[in-house]
């Protein structure tokens, strides 16, 4: 097939995660080395196609040495949706649709295809821009690993390892002081980080958004451990976890972009355990430590495969698709399918059975959790 591509743009959108630079590097090396194309780096996500002066050519020298580096050399933001672009005018936030300007800007720059490295938010924007004439190929990115269509996303493995390492450290101090220690981890809507790090890090209780928790069940687990001679307990809680019939805990401030910041569920659960069990409780919020640092070997490899294959998809004309991991292969999945719904922890899965087998409390009784599947 004759390929008319001469120039591709690449941007990173939404929250960062380890492995973004590995993707950028693979995109640049493959585009230049295999196809002889020009690559333009767009800074700060879609903001770089809204504001002037935020586009620069990316050459082989620009990506030298960035494979192990966390973050993104292009910068990113989770606040620049061209369809709902918020601008502060005389102290008041006004919302504008600048999507046509973005498509025009890309055309003026001579971008034939835009490679968007992003989560469901950025990929949904890419999909909508495609309907306006911009040619796009996606690379899935989410630290929460909650995007449909791919077995896993890069950055997640690093985050799970960071959380597991934190749990190993918290174990020794919790045991020494006979305390309950709570680790609050990321996981807005899906509890993958909490669940996987919790099992790998030997947690006693894991609270995830998919299973509304009952504090009585949590307290019973803690008290049972105390009675049996284990005078400490480790609780992992995803930031988006909520009690049965209750709400997730948000920080008071509202973010530009309309997304409310989660945070504080660890403290809430701590107080409730203290009140019910009369034990000493401490809380550690892992926060953005999960998103920083050097990617693991798994994430470097996956990110490199994604970046390289994204360029091959451009060459094959598979526009409107994103690269994805299926079993051992990288495949192309329609972006529309991937962003249609999030990927949650299924309540019927071997990983939950493993947690039950290890006597980990998942925030409610096993009967109640099994009832949630059908309910």
Q: Which residues bind ligand F6P (CB under 6 A)?
A: 15, 78, 143-144, 186-188, 239, 262
Is the CB of 9 or the CB of 18 nearer to ligand F6P?
18
Which positions ≥6 away from 37 have C-beta within 8 Å?
A: 5, 6, 7, 8, 31
Q: CB–CB of 330/322 below 8 Å?
A: no
DSSP assignment of 119-187 equals -HHHHHHHHHHHTTT--EEEEE--TT--BTTSS--TTHHHHHHHHHHHHHHHHHHHHHHT-EEEEEE--
Please state the closest distance from residue 76 (CB atom) to ligand F6P, in A: 9
**Cα(181)–Cα(291) distance, integer angstroms:** 22
**CA–CA separation, 148 vs 158, rounded Å?**
20
C-alpha to C-alpha distance for 370 and 212, rounded to whole angstroms: 12
3-class DSSP assignment, residue 34: helix
Nearer to ligand F6P, 9 or 198 (CB): 198
Q: List Cα–Cα distances, 54 to 37, 41, 58, 69, in angstroms.
A: 20, 8, 12, 21
Burial 75-94, CB ≥16 within 10 A → b, else e: bbbbbbbbbebeeeeeeeee
Nearer to ligand F6P, 262 or 338 (CB): 262
Q: State in Å, rounded, how far the first CA of the chain is from the last one.
A: 51
Q: Which residues pair with 331 in a beta bridge?
A: 324
Least separation in angstroms between residue 239's CB and ligand F6P is 6
The active-site residue out of 16, 44, 144, 204 is 144
Considering beta carbons, is residue 264 or 320 the nearer one to ligand F6P?
264
Phi, psi for 311 (deg, rounded to 5)? -70, -40
Listed residue (16, 80, 28, 26) closest to 57, CA to CA: 28
Minimum Å distance from CB 143 to ligand F6P? 5
Q: Is 144 a catalytic residue?
A: yes
- Give the nearer residue to ligand F6P in terms of CB position, either 78 or 81: 78
Residues in the chain, how many? 375
Q: What is the DSSP letter of 116?
A: E
Smallest gap, in angstroms, from Cβ of residue 153 to ligand F6P?
11
Query: Backbone phi, then psi, for 203, in 5-degree steps?
Result: -75, 155
Q: Looking at beta carbons, which residue is closest to ligand F6P?
A: 186
Buried b (16+ CB within 10 A) or exposed e, 350-368: eebeebeeeebbbbbeeeb
Catalytic residues: 144
């Amino acid at each position: 097939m004759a390929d008319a591509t001469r120039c591709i743009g690449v941007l990173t959108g939404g929250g960062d995660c380890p492995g973004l630079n590995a993707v950028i590097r693979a995109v640049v090396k493959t585009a230049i080395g295999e196809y002889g194309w020009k690559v333009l780096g767009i800074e700060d996500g879609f903001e770089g196609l809204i504001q002037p002066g935020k586009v620069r050519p990316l050459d082989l020298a620009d990506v030298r040495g960035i494979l192990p580096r966390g973050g993104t050399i292009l910068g990113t933001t989770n606040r620049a949706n061209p369809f709902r672009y918020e601008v502060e005018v005389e102290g008041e936030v006004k919302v504008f649709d600048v999507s046509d300007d973005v498509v025009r800007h890309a055309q003026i720059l001579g971008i034939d295809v835009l490679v968007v490295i992003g989560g469901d938010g950025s990929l949904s924007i890419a999909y909508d821009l495609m309907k306006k004439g911009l040619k796009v190929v996606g690379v899935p990115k989410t630290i929460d690993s909650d995007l449909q269509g791919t077995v896993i996303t890069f950055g997640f493995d690093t985050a799970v390892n960071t959380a597991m390492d934190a749990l190993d450290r918290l174990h020794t101090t919790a045991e020494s002081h006979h305390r309950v220690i709570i680790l609050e981890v990321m996981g807005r809507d899906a509890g993958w980080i909490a669940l996987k790090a919790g099992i790998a890090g030997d947690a006693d209780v894991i609270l995830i958004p998919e299973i509304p928790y009952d504090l009585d069940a949590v307290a019973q687990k803690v008290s049972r451990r105390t009675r049996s001679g284990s005078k400490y307990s480790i609780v992992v809680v995803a930031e988006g976890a909520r009690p049965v019939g209750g709400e997730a805990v948000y920080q008071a401030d509202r973010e530009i972009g309309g997304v409310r910041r989660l945070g504080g569920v660890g403290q809430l659960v701590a107080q409730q355990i203290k009140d019910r069990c009369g034990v000493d409780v401490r809380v550690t919020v892992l926060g953005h430590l999960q998103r920083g640092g050097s990617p693991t070997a798994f994430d470097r490899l996956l990110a490199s495969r994604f970046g390289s294959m994204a360029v091959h998809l451009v060459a094959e004309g598979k526009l409107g698709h994103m690269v994805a991991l299926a079993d051992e292969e990288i495949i192309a999945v329609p972006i529309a399918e991937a962003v249609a719904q999030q990927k949650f922890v299924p309540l019927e899965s071997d990983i939950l059975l493993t947690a039950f087998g290890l006597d980990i409390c998942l925030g409610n009784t096993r009967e109640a959790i099994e009832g949630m599947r059908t309910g």
